[in-house]
Amino acid sequence: MRYFRHLLCVVAFMFACISANAVGHGTDENGSIDLQGILFGHIQDSYEWHITTVNGHPVVLHLPVIVKSSTGWHVFSSGEFSEEADAAGNRPGPYGLYISGSEANANKICEKVDGAEVRPFDISITKTVAVLFIDAILLLLCVLIPARWCKRHRPEDPAPKGFTGLMTMFIMYIYDEVIKASLGKEADKYAPYLLTCFFFIFIANIMGVVPFPPGGGNLTGNITCTFFLALCTFIITNVTGTKAYWKDIFWPEVPTWLKVPVPLMPFIEFFSIFTKPLALMIRLFANMMAGHAIALSLSCIIFIMFGINAVAGASMTVVSVLMSVFMMLLEVLVCFIQALVFTMLSAVFFSLAHVHGHAVKE
C-alpha cells in the first residue's frame, strides 16, 4: 500500500509535468486549444527541446544544427532561427537556411535553390537524436556496470546484489525465455544483437514515458528508429539464412501448379520476406506513438473542457487524472511488451531463416 502511494505520487507528478508542457505551447491566438499542434509538436522531431513555458517565456534547449547546404557545411545553434514565422510560415535563420512552414517539409530546415525549396544534407542533433544519445548512454551504463561486476568476480563469489542483480536477472530472463526458447543452440550467435535490441527499445520506451528531460522524447515512436531496427533484423535474417530457407522461398513444397506456370507461392513467400520486418517496424512505431498521443490527449481534455466552462473542466480533471494514471501504468506495461515482442519476433525470424531442411526440423 505504501508503495502504491509512492507510485501514485510519481505518476501524478509526471502527469502534472505533461499538463504544464502541453499547455505551454498549445494555445493559439484566440485562446482555444490547438490539440493537433500539441500532439504533433510532441510526437514529431524538432530542432529545439521545448521543456516548459514559464510566465509566457518558453524554456527551450537549443540543440546544434549540422547541415551541408549549397554553401557548404554549417554548424550552429538552433536558437539562431527566429521565433516568429514570416509571411510564408518559414522561420529564417543564418546562411539562407530556414525552418520550413510548407506542407511538404513542415518543421524541417530548408533552403531556396533556384527558387525551389530543397532540403540540405541534414544531420542535426534534433530532439530525437539527443534522446537517442541519452538512451544509448543509459543503455551502456545499464549493461556495462553489470558486465564489469561479472569481469571482476569469479563464479564462486556470492551472488550480485542491487542493480547488478536486477540487470543480470532481467538479461537472463530475456536470454532464456525469448532467445534460447526460439533459437536453441544458435542462441549465442544472435543473443548480443537481440539483447541490444530489447534493451535499446525498452529503455527508449521507458524514457519516452518519463515526461521531463532527460526523458520525454519520442524515439521508438519515430518511424526512423523502428525502420532502422527492422532493417537490421531484415539484413541479419537474410544474410544468415540457410540454403533451405532460400529454397523454401523460391521452390516451396507445394503442389507444382502453384509454382510452375505462374509462380504464385514463390511470389507470396518472397513478398513475406519484406512484410515481416515491415510489420515489426509498424507495430513498434504505432504502439509507442499511440501511447504518447493518448497520454497527451487525456491531459488536453482538461484544457478543452476548461475552455467550455469551469465546472466541466473541474469534473473532467478528476476523470482525466484517473484515466491518465491508468494509461500511464498501461503504458509502462506496453513499453515492456513491445520491446519483448520485437525481440521475440526477430528471434523467430532468425530461427525460421535457420532451417536445415525438413529432416532436421523434426
Partner 1 sequence: MSLITPDFGLLFWMAVVFLIVLGILWRFGFPVIVKMVNDRKDYIDDSLRKAHEANERLANIKIESESILQEAREKQALILKEAATTRDAIVEKAQDKAREESNRLIAEAKAEIEAQKQAAISDIRAQVAELSVKVAEKILRKELGDSGKQMDLIDRLLDEVSSSDKKQ
- Interface ranges with partner 1 (CB under 8 A): 40, 43-45, 105-108, 121-126, 128-129, 132-133, 136, 139-140, 143-144, 146-147, 150-151, 153, 155-156, 159, 167-168, 171-172, 175, 188, 191-193, 195-196, 200, 222-225, 227-229, 232, 285, 289
| Total Cβ atoms within 10 A of residue 156 | 5
Which residue lies nearer to partner 1 by CB, 155 or 261? 155
Which residue lies nearer to partner 1 by CB, 125 or 341? 125
Amino acid at 264: L
Neighbour-count burial of 220, counting CB atoms closer than 10 A to its CB (0-12 exposed, 13-18 middle, 19+ buried) = buried
Query: Cβ(203)–Cβ(139) under 8 Å?
Result: yes
Query: Cβ(107)–Cβ(44) under 8 Å?
Result: yes
Strand partners, 52: 59
Compute the least distance from the CB of residue 322 to partner 1, in Å: 29
Compute the least distance from the CB of residue 360 to partner 1, in Å: 25
Angle, CA 161 vertex, CA 158 and CA 167 arms, to 5°: 115
User: For 74-107, b where at least 16 C-beta lie within 10 A, e where not — what string?
Assistant: bebebbebeeeeeeeebbebebebbbbbeeeeeb
**In angstroms, rounded to a whole number, what is the distance separating the alpha carbons of residues 39 and 21?**
11
Compute the least distance from the CB of residue 70 to partner 1, in Å: 17
Which residue lies nearer to partner 1 by CB, 11 or 139? 139
Which residue lies nearer to partner 1 by CB, 179 or 305? 179
Element (H, E) at 351: helix 310-352
Strand order in the sheet with 116-118: 91-92, 97-99, 109-113, 116-118
Compute the least distance from the CB of residue 20 to partner 1, in Å: 25
Element (H, E) at 310: helix 310-352
E-strand stretches of 96-231: 97-99, 109-113, 116-118, 121-122
Which residue lies nearer to partner 1 by CB, 81 or 285? 285
Compute the least distance from the CB of residue 123 to partner 1, in Å: 5
Compute the least distance from the CB of residue 346 to partner 1, in Å: 13
**Which residues touch 278 (CB under 8 Å, ≥6 apart)?**
230
Which residue lies nearer to partner 1 by CB, 134 or 345? 134
Compute the least distance from the CB of residue 111 to partner 1, in Å: 15
Which residue lies nearer to partner 1 by CB, 151 or 185? 151
Query: Cβ(266)–Cβ(250) under 8 Å?
Result: yes
Longest CA–CA separation in the chain, Å: 74
Rg (Cα) of the chain, in Å, rounded?
25
Which residue lies nearer to partner 1 by CB, 42 or 259? 42
Which residue lies nearer to partner 1 by CB, 12 or 66? 66
Compute the least distance from the CB of residue 299 to partner 1, in Å: 20
Compute the least distance from the CB of residue 87 to partner 1, in Å: 22
Three-state secondary-structure class, residue 76: strand
Compute the least distance from the CB of residue 339 to partner 1, in Å: 14
Which residue lies nearer to partner 1 by CB, 144 or 262? 144
